[in-house]
Structure 1
Amino acid sequence: MNDRSLVGKTIVITGASSGFGKGAAIALASMGANVVLAARRTNLLAELTRQIGPNALAVTTDVSKPDDIQHLKKEALLRFGAIDVWINNVGVGALGLFWDIPVEDHARVLDVNIKGLIYGAHAALSEFLTTGTGTLINVGSIDSEVPLAYQASYAASKAAVLSLSRSLNEELRLINQGNIRVATIMPWAVDTPWWIHAANYTGHEPRMAAMDDPQIVIDAIVRACIDPKEEMPVGPKAHASNISHKLFPNLTERLTANIADKEVKKAWPAPPTAGSLHEPMDEGSGIDGGIRKRMRLKDEAPHDIPPE
């Protein structure tokens, strides 16, 4: 994608230490944007900043802490003088049957995915309303539209993301602020380190059918920086699920639940873990999560013990 309109623009990206955030940061910086990188893993942000160069700024941030978000905003403005796009990209998950997941893990999912997103949206919109322009990009999921078994609190949080975005667009319309846009990115299951970082109480390694490559979501985030749309399903599977749920909600929910259940039971056994919900982990620092590769190994050698 080649668009000169991003040259010199300042873009804040939360969740920038891996996955979509890391990929989007690299892509946007290559297009001439200033990128402000936010995540909990300071060392990975420092590495990414060195890779990108002088138009990158790293700010260690836990999005569930409102003071951290205000610090992030302040540092972005001090360094670059403006914020043109704010990407709320952080999303954590807890896999398992709802009652098998500790309540503190459900609470942490909501603290990050809803409260953290609200803190980021509030900081961004207060700046955009001052300048009269700006784009807020909220990274949701196809779970924003289609609830998914084994991911109950995650799906609920992503439904909240879409609802918030819709409400914000209407409020901006009511006050005639058409130069401020709010977009929601809605991918299907994607092979990123999200699966490595998720809390997991399924008894099996995480997997999902027909995972997408992260690049299509990175491309959608970049497009949203240039031409934001209120709802942006990403890829054929997300588009099909979105349409199917609007036409046949009960059937679509049953089909997706059955797919999730089948995938869980196909996976190698794994012990319970809270993942990186409460504390960041070193593992999972790339854009790709390597989940598709692991799934292929399992499907080609369907024994009960994963390889070393």
Structure 2
Amino acid sequence: MKLMNYRQSFPLLSMFAISALTSLLLTGCATKQLSKSDRRKVQGKTFVVTGASSGFGRGVALRLGEYHANVVLAARRGEVLESVAADVRKAGGQAIVVLTDVGRQQDVERLADTTVKVFGKADVWINNAGVGAIGGFEDIPLDEYSKLIDVNLKGVVYGSQAALKLFKKQGYGKLINTGSVESAVPLAYHATYGSTKAAVRALGNVLHQELRLSGHLKKIKVVTIMPWAVDTPFWRHAANYSGGTPRMAAMDGPEKVVNAIIFSSLHRRRELPVGWKARASYISHRLMPHLTERISANIAYRYQIKTAPPAPPTKGSVMLPMPEGQGIDDGVRQRMKAEKKEQKGRKDSNKRIEQ
């Protein structure tokens, strides 16, 4: 087959460029706070938020409180959830706490039942709970891999099933699953985490088609959110066997993802890579998968293995919740910036000594 000449390929390239630019612009809209009209649409709606004790979950809950929504807070850390609930109420919303380990089916079913008993409905169900494991594939204990799958994949399966049963009964609803840019672009030293996030994306695509075939797609939607690496307590909570302090290059702030999740509850987006870096990776992998994976792996090696400050092995919060890391932003970017400045200072000092 002959390659198309420039004139033949130009219209296709132009269409792709326009599509990519449009996607980037739409993603930019999604990462901002809701407009006044959208805020009014959120008011009084009921949102179930798993993983609500820190990171995206806590950020979404507090923002929903500002928009005067009803928020059902689910996570393993009960005392922390009570604190989040108090902040939601102070902001103007309503909140209840349901202690939940999403890896346990009975906990998720109780979460759905409690939501209906208290608020009578669930307009939006956000499967956000997740844990990470960083290190070489053979270095991470299998029991931790197993728990990671329980939370990141089974938890989404249990939550999706509970939500869809409820939505079909009430006739409407929006299911939002938090994936990752790793749902599309694999990253070295994140083998099982990336695998679970790829499965979350696949699950969302399948559910979309099943809803279409059953005639429910007009009223029930499924969205997969795919952020770039974000500065949240995720890195502090991750199991880590890499030898270096958990981190990634060019992290985004959590507010982008918080806004995108809430934006998706109102707008039709089947998949949403959040921010220009996630979108660029997503598009690049579709066009040049092998090159994109190679570049991603090299970046992970440089930041996680080669230059990260040493860190001892840890199970993080994979097996059991930990008290540390209750915020939305965890200050990782500030620490990396300070470390870089310190390293530069040492290099300059060594140069002066040599001279």
TM range (shorter): over 0.9
Q: 2:188 & 2:161 partners in 1: Cα distance?
A: 31
Instruction: Give the match for residue 306 of structure 1.
Output: none
- 2:49 maps to 1:10: no
- 2:197 maps to 1:158: yes
SS of the equivalent of 2:322 reads coil
Rg bigger for which structure?
2
Q: 2:58 & 2:205 partners in 1: Cα distance?
A: 26
Q: 2:102 & 2:66 partners in 1: Cα distance?
A: 26
Aligned counterpart for 2:308 among listed residues 247, 260, 267: 267
Instruction: Give the match for residue 321 of structure 2.
Output: 280
Paired amino acid for 1:291: V
Instruction: Give the match for residue 251 of structure 1.
Output: 291
Structure 1 residue runs without a partner (length 5+): 304-308
- Whether the aligned pair in 2 keeps the contact of 1:267 and 1:298 (CA below 8 Å) is no
- Whether the aligned pair in 2 keeps the contact of 1:61 and 1:69 (CA below 8 Å) is yes
Q: 2:152 & 2:263 partners in 1: Cα distance?
A: 23
Runs of 4+ deviating beyond 2 Å: none
- Whether the aligned pair in 1 keeps the contact of 2:64 and 2:88 (CA below 8 Å) is no
Q: 1:206 & 1:38 partners in 2: Cα distance?
A: 26
Q: 2:117 & 2:65 partners in 1: Cα distance?
A: 19
Spell out, residue by residue over 1:252-283, the C-alpha distance to the aligned partner (whole angstroms, 9 max, x if none). Answer: 00000000000012111010001000110011
Instruction: Give the match for residue 131 of structure 2.
Output: 92
Q: 2:307 & 2:333 partners in 1: Cα distance?
A: 13
Instruction: Give the match for residue 257 of structure 2.
Output: 217
Paired amino acid for 1:275: G
The worse-fitting range, judged by mean Cα deviation, of 2-11 and 243-252 is 2-11
Aligned counterpart for 1:183 among listed residues 223, 236, 245: 223
- 2:239 maps to 1:199: yes
Aligned counterpart for 1:120 among listed residues 153, 159, 169: 159
Spell out, residue by residue over 1:84-140, the C-alpha distance to the aligned partner (whole angstroms, 9 max, x if none). Answer: 100000111100010011111111111111101000000000000111100000000
Q: 1:203 & 1:50 partners in 2: Cα distance?
A: 38
Q: 2:68 & 2:212 partners in 1: Cα distance?
A: 30
Deviation at 1:242, TM superposition (A): 0.2
SS of the equivalent of 1:114 reads helix
Paired amino acid for 1:224: S
- 2:142 maps to 1:103: yes
Q: 1:182 & 1:197 partners in 2: Cα distance?
A: 28
Paired amino acid for 1:15: G
- 2:267 maps to 1:231: no
SS of the equivalent of 1:57 reads strand
Aligned residue pairs, count: 303
Deviation at 1:52, TM superposition (A): 1.4
Aligned counterpart for 1:49 among listed residues 75, 85, 105: 85
- 2:203 maps to 1:171: no
Deviation at 1:302, TM superposition (A): 2.4
Paired amino acid for 2:343: P
Aligned counterpart for 2:104 among listed residues 57, 60, 65: 65
Paired amino acid for 2:162: A
Instruction: Give the match for residue 118 of structure 2.
Output: 79
Seq. identity, %: 52
Q: 1:90 & 1:254 partners in 2: Cα distance?
A: 29
SS of the equivalent of 1:271 reads coil
RMSD: 1.0
Deviation at 1:246, TM superposition (A): 0.3
Paired amino acid for 1:205: T
Instruction: Give the match for residue 139 of structure 1.
Output: 178
Aligned counterpart for 2:73 among listed residues 30, 37, 48: 37
SS of the equivalent of 1:226 reads coil
Instruction: Give the match for residue 30 of structure 2.
Output: none
Say which structure is richer in helix: 2
Q: 2:64 & 2:86 partners in 1: Cα distance?
A: 15
Deviation at 1:228, TM superposition (A): 3.7
Q: 1:228 & 1:286 partners in 2: Cα distance?
A: 30
- Whether the aligned pair in 2 keeps the contact of 1:19 and 1:214 (CA below 8 Å) is yes
